[in-house]
Amino acid sequence: MIENGFSYLAVLMMIASVIVYAEKKSRLKLFEYLPAIVMLYFMVMLFSTFGVWEKNTSVTVAYKAVKSNLLPAMIFLMLLSADMREILKLGRKMLLTFLLASASISLGFIGMFAFFHSFFSTDAWKAFAALSGSWMGGTGNMVAIQGALNVPDSKMGYALLIDSIDYAIWVMILLALVPFAKRFNAWSKADTSIIDEVGEKLTLKEKNKKTMAFESLFLLLSSALFVSALSQYFAGYLPATSFLTATTWTVIIATLAGIVMAMSPLAKFSGSMELGNIMLYLIVALIASRANFAELTQAPLYIAAGFVIIAIHVAVMVFFAKLFKLDLFSLGVASLANIGGVASAPILASAYSKALIPIGVLMAMMGYILGTFGGLMIGKVLEMIAG
């Protein structure tokens, strides 16, 4: 049994790195349905269930210190790729489609919770608030909201469970619908000429970035840690409420810093997403290390709730597709840019045309910007519903 805080962190990092390496190097079909970050969560939770480490003072201090300090740094690094100037190149129609997807997902969460909140525990709204961050942005946004709202680590298992199972099925459905795009577009009377034009004109920002090097990684890492320190310092001077705690302010400040600095020369250095993902995997492992499988007693109910959210999202999107003459490509990629993020939106875009991949990437980047704020707003509404 591990009793030392450093050994505890070292084991978590080792587990995370082995899983990531296995996903990149192996050809296991399992990774197509369960992303590495989800497998990491449940693998670490399994170790926690069997008591591989003690939750003593040394381990708890290490957990709190690393998680609270890395969270703002991770948010900052992941947002450095989300340049608003690039996103605006998508054009008004595609931006509106993305916002429609975000709004319909918000309605899905609120509608589902309004009808079924009595079936869940009193603090279940926190788990759904965290999930909404992921389904409007990415896993980084979910972790940010978990920290901001102090979501119990035990509840995050439900959020990750829905995020993997419901999301995987939704991706398969959207990919299966690709051959029916022409038929759908004829029904909605959509004009797709602008999509091809935007796809050809967009160039990925990565091409303009400097080569990843030691000095650039060092600068990015030090900048992220400096932003984390400043965010926590200034958050201590801002007014706190039961909802807007010091941690919430820290997340908001780090998010705003990332959005602003994404338009600065610092964003041209390669490696911000890689460093951010290392931090994200460690934070997810830390969260999982405080949970265990015995706490997932309502798993089927949560999974069913996830499908209700998606059903409401689809109904709203189809209604407005007919009303505003939206095409299936824009709807599908906007949906996955929210629910799946940068990992899956480009995949769906490439199923239509390789030239459209940049659209999927930029839409997903927009999700990173809006996910945390959107999730916090949904969390407030769900808290009011829960009473």
pLDDT tens-digit map of 144-194: 898 888 888 778 888 888 887 888 788 889 888 888 888 998 898 887 766
In tens, the pLDDT along 98-149 reads: 999 999 999 999 999 999 988 988 888 999 999 999 899 888 888 889 888 8
Q: Over the stretch 46-100, which tens digit does the pLDDT of each residue have?
A: 898 888 998 889 999 999 899 899 989 998 998 888 777 777 777 788 888 999 9
- Six-digit token string for 333: 């990629």
Please check the confidence at residue 207 and state whether its pLDDT lies above 60. no
Task: Determine the pLDDT at residue 175.
Answer: 85
Instruction: Output the pLDDT for position 131.
Output: 93
> CA 153 → CA 15, 157, 288, 330, distances in Å?
19, 7, 7, 35
pLDDT at residue 204, rounded to an integer: 46
Determine the average pLDDT of the residues in 357-382: 86
Q: Which residues contact 382 (CB under 8 A, 6 or more apart)?
A: 109, 110, 113, 117, 125, 128, 129
Would you give the DSSP letter of residue 262? T
Q: What is the DSSP string of 276-319?
A: HHHHHHHHHHHHHTT--GGG-TTHHHHHHHHHHHHHHHHHHHHH
Neighbours of 26 (CB within 10 A): 10
Higher pLDDT, 348 or 210: 348
Q: Say whether 55 sits in a helix, a strand or coil.
A: coil
Cβ neighbours around 290 below 10 Å, total: 18
Asked if the model's pLDDT at residue 316 lies above 90, the reply is yes
Give CA 182 to chain center in angstroms: 31
- Compute the average pLDDT of residues 260-277: 88
Alpha carbon distance 210, 293 (integer Å): 44
**Whole-prediction pTM value?**
0.81
Half-sphere exposure of 44 (CA within 13 A, CB side): 34
Pick the most confident of 57-66, 206-215, 295-304: 57-66
pLDDT reported for residue 205: 47
pLDDT at 295: 66
Residue in the structure block whose two tokens are 């389904």:
135
Whole-number Å distance between alpha carbons of 131 and 309: 11
Residue 2 parent element (H or E): none
Query: Given this model, what pLDDT does residue 194 score?
Result: 64
DSSP state of 22: H
**Average model confidence (pLDDT) across the chain:** 86
Instruction: Please give the full DSSP string across 318-346, using - where no structure is assigned.
Output: HHHHHHHT--HHHHHHHHHHHHTGGGTHH
Task: Give the pLDDT band of residue 202 (cuts 50, 70, 90).
Answer: low
Structure tokens belonging to residue 147: 């920290």
At position 95, the amino acid (one-letter code) is L
Integer Cα distance of 69 and 6 in angstroms:
16
**Contacts for 188 with CB less than 8 Å, ≥ 6 apart:** 321, 322, 325, 326, 327, 328
